[in-house]
């Protein structure tokens, strides 16, 4: 999950020129995922017999993989080497097409981040609903 947190930080740089409201969404995701990472570390010592903790930990890991995949796809679409593009009319056409595809990629990541935020919120509320922290602290104290 630490690589995911680093990628979220990278997305916040001006290089990716995200829509303004996404900065807040990404900061929310980053804070929530940092808390989830801490909780995962805390519950890592819980016996496998605690199904609820194991299920929650699995969901968090799968969610982090999905988020990282989405961010990777976005970064690949946006990143380009401007020196590799041809000059002249062909370069103009290529740059114009790149603008259209990056605009689409930016809208796509915006939609993805909003959906991811909903999933992260659901996983976080499940943690509270099923008292995951209480289960893990109970086993750590025994």
How far is C-alpha 109 from the geometric centre of its chain's CA atoms?
10
142 residues of the chain, pLDDT tens digit each: 788 888 888 877 765 666 677 788 888 888 888 888 887 887 776 665 667 788 888 888 898 888 888 888 887 877 654 455 566 777 778 777 776 677 777 788 888 888 888 998 898 888 788 776 666 555 555 5
Give the pTM. Answer: 0.67
Burial environment of residue 89 by CB neighbours within 10 A (0 to 12, 13 to 18, 19 or more): exposed
Number of domains composing the chain: 1
Domain that holds residue 63: 2-141
């Amino acid at each position: 999950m630490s690589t995911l947190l680093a990628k979220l930080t990278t997305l916040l740089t001006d290089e990716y020129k995200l829509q303004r409201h996404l900065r807040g969404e990404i900061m929310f995701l980053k804070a929530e995922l940092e808390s989830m990472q801490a909780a995962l570390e805390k519950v890592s010592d819980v016996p496998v017999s605690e199904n609820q903790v194991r299920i929650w930990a699995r969901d968090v890991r799968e969610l982090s993989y999905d988020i990282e995949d989405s961010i990777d796809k976005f970064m690949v679409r946006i990143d380009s080497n401007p020196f590799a593009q041809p000059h002249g009319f062909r370069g103009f056409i290529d740059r114009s097409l790149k603008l259209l595809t990056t605009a689409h990629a930016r809208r796509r990541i915006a939609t993805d981040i909003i959906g991811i935020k909903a999933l992260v919120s659901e996983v976080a509320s499940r943690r509270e609903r099923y008292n995951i922290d209480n289960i893990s602290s109970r086993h750590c104290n025994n």
